[in-house]
Amino acid sequence: MADRDAARPGAGQDAAEATVTFTLDGREVTARKGEMLIAAAERAGTFIPRFCYHPRMSSVGVCRMCLVEVSGPRGATLQPSCFIEATEGAVVDTLSDKVKKAQDGVLEFLLVNHPLDCPVCDKGGECPLQDQTLAYGPGESRFVEEKRHFEKPIPVSELVLLDRERCIQCSRCTRFASEVAGEAQIDFIGRGEEIEVNTFPDLPFSSYFSGNTVQICPVGALTAAPYRFAARPWDLDQVESTCTTCAVGCRVAVQSSANRVTRLLGIDSDPVNHGWLCDKGRFAFEAVNDGDRVTEPMVRIDGELTPVTWHEALERVADGLRSAAADGPEGIGFIGGARLTNEGAYAWTKLAKGVLGTDSVDAQLGDGLPAAAVLGLPRATIDQAATAATVVLLAGDLREELPVLYLRLRSRVVGGDLSLVELSPQATASTPFASVSLRYRPGDAAGLARAMVDDTASLPAGTDPAALAEARRLTGSGPVVVVIGRPSLAEDGRLVAEAARILAEARPDCRFLPALRRGNVLGALDMGMAPGVLPGRVDLDDARAWFAREWDTVPERAGRDTVGMLRSAAGPAAGGSGDPDPTVRVRALVLLGADPTGDLPDARLAGEGLDGAEFVVQVASSTAALSTRADVVLPAAEAHERPGTTTNIEGRVTRLGQKLVPPGQAWPDWMIAAELASHLDADLGLDSLHGVWDEVERLAPAYRGITRSVLEAAGGDGVVAPLATSGVGISRRSVPGPLDPIAFPGVESVERQGAPPRAGFAESPTAVTTAAVATGGEGGAADASGREDGGTEGDGPPARPPLLGVPADLGAPRVPPTDSYTSRLVASRRLYDRGAAVAASPALAALVPEPPVRVNPHDLDDLGVAPGGDVLVRTATASLVAPAVADPSLPRKVVAADFNLPLAGGSIADLIDATAPVTELRLETP
């Protein structure tokens, strides 16, 4: 069994759920059928001590700490309460003398060989062994012999160290590795007292999820290199927040001391991360602490960025933007936004679209999907994907891009009844457990989708008919969720979106989960940071009148996306990269926490665009990400330094916690926009973070009803936008999660607004007060919160604009046929790349790989190059020589490489043409 979806959505609410009644310490208690005694007792307010039990993993019953007396045919016997189910009529005693003696005995046994080096142990102070010894253990030790010794510590990976002497053999780490991560790279060796956790010889525990083992180890046996000896737990302060390293939005406890983040721990959010984090999310905080931070506003003077006051900097920006808008507001473009909070994104959208009047705003950097598709396709939650009959993966490798989403889906495939249909140009980490993997050449995604839903459609070349038939069968009935992202950065996003559109049209009940990876990219899109849309998932034209009520202006026509802005800025100089709409050239670019040079798949276009722009403003937090082309740099607060909200791939809105004071003069992102507006002689009307949110809730249709009080009541799990009458957006964890200090040691005093205290855990998850959330879903019927809409609705038009629906036409480009000499490029992502977050985190930076180019073995053969040898990859405009390996998962004439990673011989971004539907290339011998 794998990571447990303890509460399938709706399961808890099911009144007909089967229950059993048993006697617990003399009182009658009701348990769910199949529930383990330990969990049933806990919900009934009786905590049974434990070590090996973990609510998110299968029970093994090995530590024997949870023994209770259960009466049976042969009288009462000691049974592990984590391993036997509550049964009707059972009589359970957790307090008898026999139980107490057993607990005492187990703890004494555990301490027999345990080194008492608590003073120098990272777990000291938050250690389940310490704590439970105090509560249930013997007062003194009767052991006088020599303890077992091991060499200590040994590294099991670059990030994790193991002190085998401290290990209590609970198998949490090994179970996590094999069951949850599916990477059984650590296991027990030896037996008896000599048993130890270890890796296989010369094979490190190289999992993206290794940090979780450190967090769930109930002793200090596993330690994380970045935290080892760094702090004592009692010196740490904590806030609850959401990880914005990617868009999964895992719930985290951010712990700090002396205004430095010391570590991040996963919080068990039932709908999202189940307590798990990926190592990037867990360890990237080092960038906040130690990455070279931008701390002052700077203006380029004589080629050098020179510190100035905020006033000077903003004046300079205002001047620059004004002159760029001389021919029209579209002369200004805004690129980026995924690093902003929702509040920041709204403020910048309002500045761009509502003050300056330009619609050229794009939070994505040519690596995403058309906003119309992301915002218009019916959205799925992670739970809906996990509990669907079939998930169609039409995205990059989820383990590389959205790691914890990968865990959630994997566990349901391996341990449940979810089928996976993968459409991808190359094998991914999900391929081994996918029911079907349909390989396609870049450009063929839409054709393949068409073939899946229409058996008269012609098959893209090379499609395996048997696999297609199986894919059709699996998607033919039952709930289907499509995870849609970018299988390749060298394939126009509209082609993939078109595939999704086809599936949505053919299967209207199909739901979609966008696999966009940048932190708050979904929040930024929701806040209107894309051309053609306005905040709240509405179309620019539909919503113009609605926003015109409150905004100074609203753009008259749709603007350019990032690629369009850069092409326009590059101007005639950019040979071939002409602007499809040359009326107003982009002259100023505002980079919002983004740098196209590293982030845009097409390096040449990025360079030409920035070079061509007359004026470049960059809002940045890390000097590592500074553009050499920036004329003005405005320092922004980073994650953990600013409160606000964020929105994940599901549309789930959660609150961010502020733990640190921003360094130097860095400001929260929304405030920079508001101040800049005043330098443009406008008033953004936003003077507090709460004020921004109140306006979002009031104006952005998809966020209607998500008031601050609703968010507060929803606690760490947040709410999914748009709120629906069914209350689907709110799920309440039904397993003991963060409050269980043994399951997630170190996570303390977690924010659990609205959740009843453990002792009073309700039998079925209660929805947050229905009145607070049950507003009309899409289109909005009654506003059950009781708040009137300022009377405007009653005054007639403008009416609240409708939410975007399935787009009718995405303008997907036609893919020209290729000749037999031409290959197509697949550019994929890796979790650890040259991005700023990894670069500035020493622990992670060391893990950045340098993978070779991958080629179909027959193609490599035809070329006469031995695997590992160099190939020459040539496009119409560029070429590079790099080592190549054979990858049998690739179709013929497909060449794959990883984006934004070191590659001997250059960078794959030099080859990608973002303006072409697919990047075509020739493979030659160097």
Omega cis (within 30) before 722: yes
CA dist., res. 756 & res. 751, Å (int): 12
Q: Which of 168, 565, 603, 826 binds another protein (CB under 8 A)?
A: 168
Lookup: tokens for 887: 């990858």
633 bridge partner residues: 298, 618
Q: Is 337 helix (H, G, I), strand (E, B) or coil?
A: coil
Q: Which is nearer to another protein, 168 or 314 (CB)?
A: 168
153, 281, 598, 736: residue in contact with ligand SF4 (rule CB under 6 A)? 281
Of 563, 568, 560, 562, nearest in space to 613 by CA: 568
* 12 SS3 class: coil
Closest CB 110 distance from another protein, rounded Å: 6
Neighbours of 477 (CB within 10 A): 9
The torsion angles phi and psi of 702, rounded to 5 degrees, stand at -70, -15
User: CB nearest ligand SF4: which residue?
Assistant: 281
Q: How far is the CB of 517 from ligand SF4 (least distance, A)?
A: 8
Single residue of 277, 361, 836, 901 touching ligand SF4 by CB under 6 A: 277
Query: Which residue of 90, 111, 197, 619 would you call a contact of ligand SF4, by CB under 6 A?
Result: 197
- Answer with the entry of another protein, ligand SF4, ligand FES, none that 278 interacts with (C-beta below 5 to 8 A by kind): ligand SF4
Interface residue with another protein, options 19, 23, 136, 148 (CB under 8 A): 148
Which among ligand SF4, another protein, ligand FES, none contacts residue 743 (Cβ within 5 to 8 A by kind)? none
172 binds ligand SF4 (CB under 6 A): yes
Question: Residue 490, interface with ligand SF4 (CB under 6 A)?
Answer: no
Which x/- pattern over 119-158 shows residues binding ligand SF4 (rule: CB under 6 A)? Answer: ----------------------------------------
Using a 10 angstrom Cβ sphere, with 0-12 exposed, 13-18 middle and 19 or more buried, the burial of residue 190 is exposed
Q: How far apart are CA 832 and CA 826, in angstroms?
A: 18
Report helix, strand or coil for 87: coil
Which among 138, 16, 875 is positioned nearest to 490, based on CA atoms?
Answer: 875
At its nearest, how many Å lie between ligand FES and the CB of residue 105? 13
Select from ligand SF4, ligand FES, another protein, none the partner in contact with residue 281, using the beta carbon and a kind-dependent cut-off of 5 to 8 Å: ligand SF4
Using CB under 6 A as the criterion, what x/- string covers residues 152-171 for binding ligand SF4?
---------------xxxxx
- Angstrom distance (rounded) from CA 864 to CA 858: 10
Q: Is the CB of 246 or the CB of 633 nearer to ligand SF4? A: 246
The answer to whether the Cα torsion of 883, 887, 892, 898 is positive or negative is negative
Of 105 and 415, the one with the shorter C-beta distance to another protein is 105
Question: Binding of ligand SF4 at residue 847 (CB under 6 A)?
Answer: no
Q: Which two tokens stand for residue 631?
A: 């004329």
Instruction: List CB contacts of 309: < 8 A, sequence separation 6 or more.
Output: 297
- Tell which positions 592-631 bind another protein, by CB under 8 A: none
With contacts defined by CB under 8 A, name the span among 37-45, 127-135, 140-148, 726-734 that binds another protein.
140-148
Distance CA(229)–CA(233), nearest Å, equals 10
Distance CA 826, CA 49 (A): 52
Binding residue for another protein (CB under 8 A) from 143, 200, 234, 821? 143
The Cα 783–Cα 771 span in angstroms is 9
Could you tell me the smallest distance in angstroms from the CB atom of residue 102 to ligand FES?
11
Tell me the number of residues near ligand SF4 by CB under 6 A: 27
Name, in order, each residue with C-beta under 8 angstroms of 195's C-beta and a sequence gap of 6 or more: 169, 188, 189
- Closest distance between ligand FES and the C-beta of residue 617, in Å? 57
CA distance 581 to 386: 43
Q: Does 415 bind another protein (CB under 8 A)?
A: no
x/- map, 37-66, another protein, by CB under 8 A: ------------------------xxxxx-
Burial 241-279 (b: 16+ CB within 10 A, else e): bbbbbbbbbbbbbbbbbeeebbbbbbbbbbbbbbbbbbb
SS3 call for 775: coil
Distance of alpha carbon 866 from alpha carbon 852, whole angstroms? 13
Give the range of 74-82, 220-228, 766-774, 885-893 binding another protein by CB under 8 A: 74-82
Looking at the chain, the number of H-run helices and the number of E-run strands are: 28, 36
840 in contact with ligand SF4 (CB under 6 A): no
Binding residue count for another protein, defined by CB under 8 A: 37
> Are the CB atoms for 596 and 610 separated by under 8 Å?
yes
Token output for 118: 């608590």
Largest CA distance in the chain: 91
Which of the stretches 140-148, 242-250, 794-802, 855-863 binds ligand SF4 when contact is defined by CB under 6 A?
A: 242-250
Whether residue 38 contacts residue 54, with contact meaning beta carbons closer than 8 Å, is answered with no
CB 70, min distance to ligand FES, A: 13
Draw the binding track, 361-400, toward ligand SF4 (x: CB under 6 A; -: no contact): ----------------------------------------
Which CB, 84 or 504, lies closer to ligand FES? 84
CA 669 to CA 674: how far, in whole Å? 9
Q: Which does 194 bind (CB under 5 to 8 A by kind): ligand SF4, another protein, ligand FES, none?
A: another protein
Alpha-carbon distance of 755 to 305, in angstroms, equals 50
Q: Which does 146 bind (CB under 5 to 8 A by kind): ligand FES, another protein, ligand SF4, none?
A: another protein
The dihedral through the CA atoms of 266, 268, 273, 276 has a sign that is positive
Least separation in angstroms between residue 536's CB and ligand SF4 is 24
Residue 140 touches another protein, criterion: CB under 8 A? no
Partner that binds at residue 245, options ligand FES, another protein, ligand SF4, none, CB closer than 5 to 8 Å by kind: ligand SF4
Residue from 13, 71, 105, 870 in contact with another protein (CB under 8 A): 105
Q: Is 166 in the site for another protein (CB under 8 A)?
A: no
**Which 3 state secondary structure label does DSSP give 78?**
strand
Instruction: Pick one of 12, 80, 266, 275: the residue that binds another protein (CB under 8 A).
Output: 80
Q: Closest approach of Cβ 740 to ligand FES, in Å?
A: 12
Q: Which is nearer to ligand SF4, 250 or 666 (CB)?
A: 250
Rounded to a whole number of angstroms, the minimum distance from the CB of residue 51 to ligand SF4 is 8
Per-residue binding string, another protein, 108-127, x by CB under 8 A, is xxx-xx--------------
Q: Which residues bind ligand FES (CB under 6 A)?
A: 50-53, 61-66, 80, 82
Tell me, residue by residue from 184 to 213, as one string, x for binding to another protein by CB under 8 A and - for no binding: ---xx-xxxxxx------------------
Please give the Cα distance from 664 to 653 (Å, whole number).
29
N-term to C-term CA, the chain: 50
User: Does 106 sit near another protein (CB under 8 A)?
Assistant: yes
832 binds, among ligand FES, ligand SF4, another protein, none (CB under 5 to 8 A by kind): none
How far is residue 514's CA from residue 324's CA, in Å, rounded to a whole number?
Answer: 34
Q: What is the 3-state secondary structure (H, E, C) of 90-111?
A: CEEECCCHHHHHHHHHHHHHHH
Rule CB under 8 A: say whether 102 interacts with another protein. yes
* CB half-sphere exposure, 784, CA atoms < 13 A: 17
Q: Which residues make beta-bridge pairs with 886?
A: 855
List residues binding another protein (CB under 8 A): 61-65, 67, 77-78, 80, 83-84, 98, 101-102, 104-106, 108-110, 112-113, 142-143, 145-146, 148, 168-169, 187-188, 190-195
Query: Residue numbers of the site for ligand SF4 (CB under 6 A)?
Result: 167-173, 197, 217-219, 221-222, 243, 245-246, 248-250, 273, 277-278, 280-281, 402-404
